[in-house]
Chain A
Amino acid sequence: MTAWIPAGTVYGTLLNFRREWDLWSSRMAQDPHKAAPKAPVLYVKTANTFCPAGQDLLLQDGVSEVDTGATLGLVIGAQAQVVGAVLLNDWSVPHTSYYRPPVKYRNRDGYLALPSRTTPGQLQDWAALQIEVRRNGDLVQTVDLRDLMRKLPALLADVGEFMTLQPGDVLMVGTDCLADGTRPRAKAGDKVEISAPGFAPVITTVRGAE
């Protein structure tokens, strides 16, 4: 069996965890943002970012460390219905500004680590899911989907208001930050594992350019 790869477009969601929202909230009304976001803030993870299970993440083109982005991806079937889910590692180059689209931070080759397979199920199965992030064996983050700003049904409804998710698309529900607003960093030599009960884990070894 070959490792799973998304058949459609993968979307990410920004600022969908309470902790990061609260850290940002006092600055949301300031320039350049001028107001808190109303609609879901989304981005696209293009096909060049897909990194099938078992492949390493190669840091190159001047990047020396990356933010870990443990998340749940909702897998879409017919009629924009959710048919399953996957754990994903939505890697990004650390960036502190959310003003402009994050193409050069999020769309680099290999920056979406995939599991070997999807897990069938329904939204309510994952409402209280806890996702653990380990770096070199140490637990560095626990992501709790009870902390989502937009819960899964609300996120799907608000995205569906302006675009129809297609069969094979994946909607990532967001990545949480740590207490200080950063995300667990990884650099060459690190092994990062993302796991949750019932899901195929996402395990990635990070390598530097030789």
Chain B
Amino acid sequence: MKHARIAWSGAIHDAVEADGQLLLTQGPHAGRHVSFDEVVWLPPLAPTAQARTVIALGLNYADHAKELAFKAPEEPLAFMKSQASLIGHKAFTRRPLGVAYMHYECELAVVIGRTARHVKKADAYGYIAGYTVANDYAIRDYLENWYRPNLRVKNRDTCTPIGPWLVDAADVPNPMALSLQTTVNGKVTQSGSTADMIFDVPTLIEYFSGFMTLNPGDLILTGTPDGIVDCQPGDVIVTEIEGIGALTNTIVKATP
């Protein structure tokens, strides 16, 4: 099943995809169908009691590591983001004034389903609630070699669209063989496969849960393959993963 979290009719609702529409699943309008265009799409994630942990991977596809002139890492290169950087499907992302290179990153996002600590690779899939699509924008002008990638590059307001759907893990039989692609104004600029991750999803869960507790609702953004290009105000970026969803985002100019 594909789950969404939307604003409609003055309130926030949980919904599922049904015959090309959204079926509201709780509240006074439960059972009602609304069209995709009628709603505001929020990140497809239930609120958490404490700040959601958002782990992101750098250089987790060999071709992207090469593209950025790095040798493949020997252990996962991870950084943490805040949930305040997340925005939903069909939202606007600000490009700061005067920057030269802002690029998208299409990433398979793993949503943790139950508390994970010291989980072995072989058991890792049992801890996953589902998957969604994230676009982990970076503004390379701000890159500095201190705790790189630094938060000014990677933890900006509006710069992490996520959604539209949380797809149940049971409906994704092999998350390690999904095609990914990104289009800019309809033209394909990035294509790859999750099969090419350096550290696959079970390996990542074993690695992180080896020293920290992952809680339900926590996210792992698993990195992006080759094919990043600059995005300008007005560009429509669609990051899509086979069977998971197509996440649309529009770049807007930041106000001075």
Q: Which residues of A contact B (CB under 8 A)?
A: 5-11, 14-15, 32-35, 37-44, 46-50, 61, 98-104, 107-109, 161-164, 166, 169
Judge whether A103 and B148 touch: CB under 8 Å.
Answer: no
Q: Which residues of B contact A (CB under 8 A)?
A: 50-53, 55, 77-85, 117, 142, 144-152, 155-157, 210-215
> With A and B bound together, what is the CA distance between A91 and B52 in angstroms?
20
Which partner residue on chain A sits nearest B77 by CB separation?
A100
Which partner residue on chain B sits nearest A50 by CB separation?
B50
Residues in chain A near residue B215, CB distance under 8 A = 47-48
Residues in chain A near residue B146, CB distance under 8 A = 14-15, 33, 37, 41, 98-99
Residues in chain B near residue A100, CB distance under 8 A = 77, 147-148
User: What's the dominant secondary structure at chain A's contact region?
Assistant: loop
> With A and B bound together, what is the CA distance between A45 and B157 in angstroms?
18
> With A and B bound together, what is the CA distance between A208 and B213 in angstroms?
18
Residues in chain A near residue B117, CB distance under 8 A = 109
Judge whether B210 and A61 touch: CB under 8 Å.
Answer: yes
> With A and B bound together, what is the CA distance between A190 and B234 in angstroms?
58
Judge whether B211 and A61 touch: CB under 8 Å.
Answer: yes
Q: How far is the CB of A119 from chain B (nearest CB, A)?
A: 21
Q: A10-B51, A101-B79, A162-B156 are in contact. Are A108 and B212 (CB under 8 A)?
A: yes
Give me the 10 closest cross-chain CB pairs, A-B, nearest first. Answer: A44-B80, A101-B79, A47-B50, A9-B82, A46-B53, A42-B151, A41-B146, A48-B213, A9-B51, A39-B152
Judge whether B80 and A103 touch: CB under 8 Å.
Answer: yes
Judge whether B145 and A164 touch: CB under 8 Å.
Answer: no
Q: Which of A5, A9, A38, A43 has the most CB of B within 10 A?
A: A9
> With A and B bound together, what is the CA distance between A46 and B150 in angstroms?
16
Q: How far is the CB of A170 from chain B (nearest CB, A)?
A: 10
> With A and B bound together, what is the CA distance between A72 and B81 in angstroms?
21
A164 CB contact (under 8 Å) in B80, B84, B210, B212: B84
Which partner residue on chain A sits nearest B149 by CB separation?
A101
Q: How far is the CB of B215 from chain A (nearest CB, A)?
A: 7
Residues in chain A near residue B50, CB distance under 8 A = 5-7, 47, 50
Q: How far is the CB of B118 from chain A (nearest CB, A)?
A: 8
Residues in chain A near residue B214, CB distance under 8 A = 48
> With A and B bound together, what is the CA distance between A5 and B51 in angstroms?
11
Q: How far is the CB of B241 from chain A (nearest CB, A)?
A: 24
Judge whether B212 and A46 touch: CB under 8 Å.
Answer: yes
Q: How far is the CB of B167 from chain A (nearest CB, A)?
A: 25
Residues in chain B near residue A15, CB distance under 8 A = 146
| New A-B pairs, 17, CB < 8 Å, besides A41-B147, A109-B117 | A9-B51, A11-B151, A39-B142, A40-B152, A43-B151, A47-B52, A48-B212, A48-B213, A100-B147, A100-B148, A108-B211, A109-B211, A109-B213, A162-B142, A162-B152, A163-B82, A163-B156
For this complex, 25 residue pairs linking A to B, each with C-beta atoms less than 8 Å apart, are A5-B50, A6-B50, A6-B51, A8-B84, A9-B51, A9-B84, A33-B146, A35-B144, A39-B152, A43-B147, A46-B53, A47-B52, A48-B53, A49-B212, A61-B211, A101-B79, A104-B211, A107-B80, A107-B211, A109-B211, A163-B84, A163-B155, A163-B156, A163-B157, A169-B82
Q: How far is the CB of B144 from chain A (nearest CB, A)?
A: 5
